[in-house]
Amino acid sequence: MEEAKKHCVSVVIPLYNEERSLDELYRRLTAVLEGAAARHELIFVDDGSTDGSLEIIRRLRSGDRRVKIIGFSRNYGKSPALSEGFRAARGDVVVTIDADLQDNPDEIPGLIARLDDGYDLVSGWKQDRKDPITKTWPSKLFNAVTSLASGIRLHDFNCGLKAYRVDVVKRVRVYGELHRFIPVLAGWEGFRIGEQRVSHSERRFGRSKYGASRLLNGMFDLMTVMFITRRATTPLHLFGRIAFLFLAGGGLINLYFLVQWIMGEGLHVRPLMVLGLIMIVISIQIGSIGLLAELQSSTMQQTFSYREYEVDDQ
């Protein structure tokens, strides 16, 4: 068998109060990467931990300069932590992994091998997820809805363990809590998305940072993502259509009353008349929101990701 190609691998590890997992995580990651990568760096992004996490990664760095530290002054969230890690990454392959030892570092070579099969992003799939049922069921629903709405067919959007070609992480903008939608954002840019089953463990130390409330937020975020991927550059096409429907409905209703009035019938306020008026007011509101969104996107510099760019100098 042909020897697998070796990459320079940047591992991005977002962490928030994970002091008891970090030493073992460092040991296992280093053991795996020394075998599987040409070179590697471990970018620990401390997301404002209040326990001893930062001291531990400082100690790790003092013994190994492949350990990099980005320490936030407060807890910003997993998305900003990943985003900063992506900015610092210098490898040609970037791997993300949770810091709590729930993801298994031994899966990393398998994910990277799939990149070599031609994928730009390979997402882990925790088929046998070791979390309480209050998390696994909402998460199943979330994954089904996201897959359906986005057209990106994955079983597990929110797996912490993923491998990327570096172009992908330099391209997608991960803010707020959009880290759950990186495959959607990347897929929309034309990157090829793959999936690979990975093993998963129970959390041994510390506490989960996310509860059931993330389902609701996740649904709002899905709306955001659908909007920014499909409509960001032409918002009035969407808002204008909706406004037009309301205007047409309200207009027809009022036309009916106008005709009655012209025919000499006395007019009385009727429920239908109120509906017609409200529909016209709503259409003006939605139309103006569309215009504002259009104004916003006209000042936005659109940038592109290229598959090829061969242009001769002038």
Among ligand UDP, Mg ion, none, residue 15 binds (CB under 5-8 Å by kind): ligand UDP
| Interaction of residue 100 with Mg ion, rule CB under 5 A | yes
To 10 degrees, the CA torsion angle through 106, 108, 111, 116? Answer: -120
Residue 31 and residue 28: Cα distance in Å, rounded? Answer: 5
Among ligand UDP, Mg ion, none, residue 16 binds (CB under 5-8 Å by kind): ligand UDP
Within 10 angstroms of residue 129's Cβ, the number of other Cβ atoms is 16
Q: What is the largest CA-CA distance in the chain?
A: 93
| Interaction of residue 160 with ligand UDP, rule CB under 6 A | yes
| Interaction of residue 98 with ligand UDP, rule CB under 6 A | yes
Residue 165 and residue 197: Cα distance in Å, rounded? Answer: 19
Residue 196 and residue 174: Cα distance in Å, rounded? Answer: 22
Question: How many chain residues bind Mg ion (CB under 5 A)?
Answer: 2
For every residue of 171-232, DSSP letters joined together read HS---TTGGGGHHHHHHHTT--EEEEE--B----SS--S--THHHHHHHHHHHHHHHHHHTT
Binding-site member from 22, 56, 77, 143 for ligand UDP (CB under 6 A) = 77
| Interaction of residue 210 with ligand UDP, rule CB under 6 A | yes
| Interaction of residue 96 with Mg ion, rule CB under 5 A | no
Q: CB of residue 80 vs Mg ion: minimum separation in angstroms?
A: 18
Q: How far, CA to CA in Å, does 269 sit from each of 49, 249, 254, 258, 260?
A: 63, 18, 12, 13, 13
Q: CB of residue 157 vs Mg ion: minimum separation in angstroms?
A: 15
User: Which residue shows structure tokens 């932590």?
Assistant: 81
| Interaction of residue 156 with ligand UDP, rule CB under 6 A | no
Binding-site member from 10, 12, 16, 180 for ligand UDP (CB under 6 A) = 16
Q: CB of residue 170 vs ligand UDP: minimum separation in angstroms?
A: 20
Q: CB of residue 18 vs ligand UDP: minimum separation in angstroms?
A: 5
Q: Select 71 or 194, whichever has its Cβ closest to ligand UDP.
A: 71
Containing H/E element for 69? strand 67-71
| Interaction of residue 75 with ligand UDP, rule CB under 6 A | yes
Q: Select 25 or 236, whichever has its Cβ closest to ligand UDP.
A: 25
Give me the residues that bind Mg ion (CB under 5 A), please: 100, 102
